[in-house]
Homo-oligomer: A and B are copies of this chain.
Amino acid sequence: MDRSGEDRLTHWIRNQLQKQNYDRIGDDGAILPSGPEWTVTTDQQIAEVHFPKDLPPRLIAGRLLAVNLSDIAAMGAVPSLALLALSCPSSYDVKDFFRALIKECGRLDIELAGGDLARSPELSATMTLFGRLQPSSNWLRRSNARPGDCLWIGGPLGQSAAGLRLVQKGARLQANSVVLPDQLRRATTGLEIEARRAIRMHLSPRPQLELGLWLARRPRVGAIDISDGLALDLHRLCRESQVGAEILAEELTMEASLTRLCQTIGLDPLATVLGGGEDYVLLFSLPADTGPPSKFGCRRIGTVTEGREVKLVQAGEKSPLGATGWDHFHNG
Chain A residues with a Cβ under 8 A of chain B: 1-9, 26-32, 34, 36-44, 46, 48-50, 70-72, 74-75, 77, 83-85, 87, 90, 94, 113-122, 124, 126, 128, 131, 139-143, 223-225, 228, 232, 235-236, 238-240, 308-310, 322-325, 327-332
State whether A44 and B118 are in contact (beta carbons under 8 Å apart), knowing that A1-B235, A7-B323 are contacts in the complex: yes
Contacts of A139 in B (CB 8 A): 27, 31
State whether A8 and B83 are in contact (beta carbons under 8 Å apart), knowing that A44-B126, A75-B27 are contacts in the complex: no
Contact B332 A6 (CB under 8 A): yes
Contacts of A240 in B (CB 8 A): 26-27
Contact A323 B32 (CB under 8 A): no
Contact A128 B83 (CB under 8 A): yes
Contact B29 A235 (CB under 8 A): no
Contact B124 A46 (CB under 8 A): yes
Contact B49 A38 (CB under 8 A): no
Contact B2 A332 (CB under 8 A): no
Tell which of B2, B49, B118 touches A87, judged by Cβ atoms closer than 8 Å.
B49
Closest B residue to A225 by CB, please name it.
B28
Give Cα A232–Cα B3 distance, bound, in whole angstroms: 8
Contact A9 B332 (CB under 8 A): yes
Give Cα A128–Cα B42 distance, bound, in whole angstroms: 8
State whether A4 and B325 are in contact (beta carbons under 8 Å apart), knowing that A27-B142, A118-B49, A240-B26 are contacts in the complex: yes
State whether A41 and B26 are in contact (beta carbons under 8 Å apart), knowing that A4-B323, A9-B332, A329-B119 are contacts in the complex: no
Distance of A279 from chain B, by nearest CB (Å): 14
Contacts of A94 in B (CB 8 A): 332
Closest B residue to A94 by CB, please name it.
B332
Tell which of B40, B43, B308, B324 touches A32, judged by Cβ atoms closer than 8 Å.
B40
Give me 17 A-to-B residue pairs in the complex whose CB atoms sit less than 8 angstroms apart, sorted by A's number: A1-B323, A2-B322, A4-B232, A5-B327, A7-B235, A27-B75, A28-B70, A28-B75, A28-B223, A32-B37, A32-B39, A40-B83, A87-B124, A116-B126, A120-B124, A124-B124, A126-B126
Give Cα A228–Cα B7 distance, bound, in whole angstroms: 11
Contacts of A118 in B (CB 8 A): 44, 46, 49-50, 328
Distance of A123 from chain B, by nearest CB (Å): 10
Distance of A247 from chain B, by nearest CB (Å): 15
Contact A46 B332 (CB under 8 A): no
Contacts of A223 in B (CB 8 A): 28
Contacts of A77 in B (CB 8 A): 29
